[in-house]
Amino acid sequence: MAQSTITIVTRVNPNHLDALDRLLSGIGHDVEKNEYVRFAEIASLHMAGIVIAAQDPRFPPILIFESNFDGTADEYLHALVGHGRGGIDAIYSKCEGYPAESARTDATIIAYLREHSLPAAAFFVGLPGQTVASIRNAIAVREEINCFLDAESAKNSIRGLSAFAIRDLIVAHLERDSPVRPEIPPITFSSYRRIAQRNTIVAWLVGLLVGVILSPLLVIWILAVRYLEVREQKEKRQPDPPVDERTYAMEDLFIQNHLATIGIVKDNPIRRFTIRTAVAAVGIMFQRILLRGGFGGVFTLHFAHVVWLDEGRRILLLTGYDGSALEYIGNFTDTAGFYLNGAYGNVRNYPPCKWLIGPGAASANGFANWSRQHMQYTPVFYSAYPNETVLNLMNDLDIRDHLAAAKSEHEVERILKLL
Amino acid sequence: MIAAPADRLDFHDIQGLVLNGYGHLDHSRFLFFKIVDARAAKRWLTVIASQVSSAKRRRREDELPGSQTNIAFTRSGMEKLGVPPDTIAAFPREFQMGMAAPERSRKLGDLGPSSPEVWQFGGPNTPTIDLLIMLYGRDEAVLDQSANREFDVSRASNGLEEVFRQTSIRHGSNEPFGFRDGISQPAIEGAGQKILPGQSIIKAGEFLLGYVDEYGEVVPVPNVSRELDPDRILAVDSSQPTRGSFGHDGSFVVFRKLAQDVVGFRSFLDRATRNADGTNNPARAKLLSAKMIGRWPSGTPLTLNSENDDPELGRNKYRNNDFGFAATDHDGFACPVGSHIRRANPRDALAFPAEPKRSLTIANRHRIIRRGRPYHEVSAATGEVVEQGLLFVAINATLHRQFEFIQQSWLNNTKFNGLYDERDPLSSANPGDGMMTIQAKPVRERLHGLPRFVTVRGGAYFFLPAIRALKFLAQTR
């Protein structure tokens, strides 16, 4: 089943900003068991984050509620209201346009949320096609195998056994005694890699053809962008909004963390066209072609998507990632800056790019500073599997989906190495 | 950031500790001071600034002096000495906050018994530290002479009040757990060091402010208005010609006193490796300790010899660091993925990027120079060692990307390189139920019940200014 995302953006009533801040901080403090929104009861929900963007005095304060889930947005919104009506009322009654108390029904609330939802201009999924249930099952299977092996090791009963023999013991345990059974989906995670290979070949061919046809226009466009890059370097830097100090406290509390940035698109039609094209291209690349997990070689990203704010004047990026913020930002500098520069090279105060390729994010200090300066405060962050990294989950899916079926000794050894 | 070609290092301006570990000097003394009278302290600084050891190169061993002294400052020390607020604000956030700030403690894992609240120095419940004097000498008499005559630190009229003192006498090259220490050090490009096999040559900007770093950039350094430097002591800041470069040739020093539970370590090894009949198995205990660290006690890397300790290899500096993990030990069957040396420097075997050369490039963006010394505290009554450990001293130009990154993202990270739920078996705050995966064929073993072996007793971040910046500090108003 495909994962989806929804981003609800509402204006906060300035008189209620502090109260909203306090309410969300309270929810975020105990996101699993809070009484307002029972995220954990929404079976289809992978990740959710609630962001307050109120630092930049040039723009009115907004509330951003993003969710990544299995199934359709309608199904999710019904589940959200069903498991968090009290919280939705408490949160959105502090925002503009929320139905008056007398007019509030599940239907009017869902209509309000729908009306304020903005489409994702690009959407990345770290583990394409894997439902919450499938991921949780893979985690449980790996944990059960580890417990079993620890117990058998303590009894000295696996010493000297071959890889095949150990595999057979594990499989027998999972079939016979284990409280957890592997539930292998019809399309496994690894089959997405094969789909990605096929898509990549097709994409190259299509890209080549389109490139040849449009080459005169492309040359003019690229030269115009380069001209702007050179000219803008001489211009005075625009002031950045102040940093919300609380972003420091929130950025690496857990194994998974949330990062939201808002940048202002440079005020130039070529820049606006370029950023829209680049975001669309990256979106197609990771949503339709490279369905193998990993964003340009970065394997710490669970979900990410881009949303246009204020008719495209601002670009909002929302991500759920593994590890510390510094490491996460550094991953892009080290490995995947190219994918950001095409888009973010068109954003104010982003480290200068050359031909929209480098350095930009490859400038370690400049990119870290830009990211820090544009981070938004995320008081609420929920994950359905908060203790697992993308790398862990890729292993877990591999173990569950292939251990029993492995035919060769090499394949069995490969999978046992993942434990 | 401006890309700049590699500069020549100004050895006369750089403090000696950056380029030299003073290996020929076994005695050291670390004196922590509070500045109680800034004017007097500046007068004192004027006198001693020219005696601080620089990195100027000497050609022969017998030319090395019998004592060396270096000086470093905390943020509060520089403020008291009159460094202007805009210059202080240009220092990195982590330095300004200090090591004991809660945000830093969380990143460093300084919690529970290691939390700053219970530190002997540098914490919120101990006196402010403004400056650190690091004295190195051939013997105690030389140290006494340096402290009392050349640097005259004990005289009250110098405006300094000693708030903590730590001494160290090094016997051999092993740290208290019994393992050879200080083997893998990066070489600094342009420093004229002899490059050993396996040693990475790292851009000077990783260890000195104002030079090109491993990203090919020069990070802006804290500077001051030229009006504050009428004698033009400081070099002109190349990116802002109207200002003097206060940070140029400087670096940051991480100082941490790490108590090592040697008895606990040995006792854990004994318990974890007992034979079925309950008797001890010293050979297995030795192997287990090597698996936890990644080297045998002699320094022999498990990657080069996973079966036996090889003292000849271990002490041979041309061989004991000449290895990567990717080619022969990618899966950690010899040196476990979660072992101490592999976490502290994953070399060419990061989980991503998987390509070894890229991995090494990225790992080299997180290196530090270690200048640690062991310490042993002896009971005056019984003469027995009551506490021992390491005075961890590290040099780096970007605290958050180098020292703090290693600590947070590699050593203390339960998810390091694809692992699931384990920290560094040696240095991390394992709460008693810590775990370590020891990769093996056909299937891994898991070590359970790891306790804490290392406790932080104190620490601070210091700025190690260049000699010129020291002289500037002495004349600030």
In terms of domains, do A405 and A279 share one?
no
In terms of domains, do A174 and A241 share one?
no
> Is A254 among the domain residues?
yes
| CB contacts, 8 Å: A153 with chain B | 445-446
Chain A closest CA to B29's CA: distance in Å? 35
In terms of domains, do A361 and A410 share one?
no
A392 and B418: CB-CB below 8 Å?
yes
Read off the tokens for A38: 């029972």
Domain ranges of chain B: 16-256+462-475, 258-394+401-458
Task: Name the residue with higher pLDDT: B457 or B50.
Answer: B457
In terms of domains, do A406 and A295 share one?
no
Kindly give, in sequence order, each residue whose CB lies less than 8 Å from that of residue B226, ignoring residues fewer than 6 positions away: B232, B236, B242, B243, B244
| CB contacts, 8 Å: B439 with chain A | 417
B215 and A362: CB-CB below 8 Å?
yes
d(CA A280, CA A186): 30
A163 and B401: CB-CB below 8 Å?
no
Interface of B with A in 436-475 (CB under 8 A): 439, 441-446, 448
pLDDT cut 70: percent of chain B above it = 97
pLDDT at B156 over 80: no
Find which of B337, B404, B409, B443 to mutate to test the A interface (most A CBs within 10 Å of its CB).
B443
d(CA A141, CA A184): 11
pLDDT for res A295: 85
> Is A383 among the domain residues?
no
Is the Cβ of B274 closer than 8 Å to some Cβ of chain A?
no
pLDDT at B5 over 50: no
pLDDT at A400 over 90: yes
A298 and B352: CB-CB below 8 Å?
yes
Kindly give, in sequence order, each residue whose CB lies less than 8 Å from that of residue B286, ignoring residues fewer than 6 positions away: B296, B297, B309
Q: How many domains would you assign to chain A? A: 3
pLDDT at B192 over 50: yes
pLDDT for res A419: 95
Reported as a pLDDT band with limits 50, 70 and 90, residue A336 is: confident
In terms of domains, do A180 and A196 share one?
no
| CB contacts, 8 Å: A416 with chain B | 442-444
The owner of tokens 């929320």 is: A98
> Is A224 among the domain residues?
yes
Helix (H, G, I), strand (E, B) or coil at A113: helix
CATH number at residue A300: 3.30.70.100
Kindly give, in sequence order, each residue whose CB lies less than 8 Å from that of residue B298, ignoring residues fewer than 6 positions away: B180, B309, B310, B311, B313, B314, B315
In terms of domains, do A347 and A409 share one?
no
Chain A closest CA to B23's CA: distance in Å? 34
pLDDT at B1 over 50: no
Tens digit of each residue's pLDDT (9 = 90 or more) over B238-260: 888 889 999 999 999 999 999 99
Strand partners, A63: A10, A52
Is the Cβ of B203 closer than 8 Å to some Cβ of chain A?
no
Q: What are phi and psi of B4, to 5 degrees?
A: -145, 155
Lowest mean pLDDT across A98-107, B51-60, B425-434: B51-60
Interface of B with A in 43-72 (CB under 8 A): none
pLDDT cut 90: percent of chain A above it = 76
Is the Cβ of B351 closer than 8 Å to some Cβ of chain A?
yes
Q: Cis link prior to A60 (omega < 30° from 0)?
A: no
In terms of domains, do A206 and A322 share one?
yes
Nearest CA in chain A to B93: A248
End-to-end CA distance of chain A: 27
pLDDT at B101 over 60: yes
Question: Residue A407 is part of which domain span?
Answer: 133-184+389-416
- How far is the CA of A81 from the CAs of A37, A38, A108, A181, in angstroms? 9, 10, 11, 32
Mean pLDDT, to the nearest integer, of A208-218?
90
B352 and A146: CB-CB below 8 Å?
no
Q: What are phi and psi of B430, to 5 degrees?
A: -70, 130
For B435-448, b/e burial (b = at least 16 CB within 10 A) is bbbbbeebbbeebe
In terms of domains, do A253 and A325 share one?
yes
In terms of domains, do A239 and A347 share one?
yes
pLDDT at B76 over 60: yes
Residue of A303, A295, A305 whose CA lies nearest to A361: A295
The owner of tokens 């072609």 is: A289
What does pTM read for this prediction?
0.94
CATH number at residue A58: 3.30.70.1090
In terms of domains, do A197 and A278 share one?
yes
Q: Cis link prior to B353 (omega < 30° from 0)?
A: yes
Mean pLDDT, to the nearest integer, of B353-362?
92
pLDDT at B63 over 70: no
B331 and A417: CB-CB below 8 Å?
yes
Interface of B with A in 69-98 (CB under 8 A): none
Is the Cβ of B352 closer than 8 Å to some Cβ of chain A?
yes
Smallest Cβ distance to B1: which of A323, A366, A417? A366
Residue ranges in A93-188 assigned as alpha helix (H): 106-115, 132-154, 163-176
Q: 3-state DSSP: chain B helix, strand, coil percent, rounded to 5?
A: 30, 25, 50
d(CA B88, CA B476): 14
pLDDT at B7 over 70: no
d(CA B292, CA B298): 14
In terms of domains, do A39 and A178 share one?
no
> Is A384 among the domain residues?
no
Q: What are phi and psi of A128, to 5 degrees?
A: -55, 140
Is the Cβ of B357 closer than 8 Å to some Cβ of chain A?
no
pLDDT for res A1: 74
Residue B255: HSE in the Cβ half-sphere, 13 Å Cα cutoff: 31
pLDDT at B58 over 80: no
In terms of domains, do A14 and A121 share one?
yes
DSSP element (H, E) containing B289: helix B282-293
Smallest Cβ distance to B400: which of A297, A326, A362? A326
| CB contacts, 8 Å: A417 with chain B | 331, 439, 444
Q: How many CB pairs under 8 A join A and B?
A: 95
Find which of A149, A161, A332, A417 to mutate to test the B interface (most B CBs within 10 Å of its CB).
A417
d(CA B282, CA B262): 16
> Is A347 among the domain residues?
yes
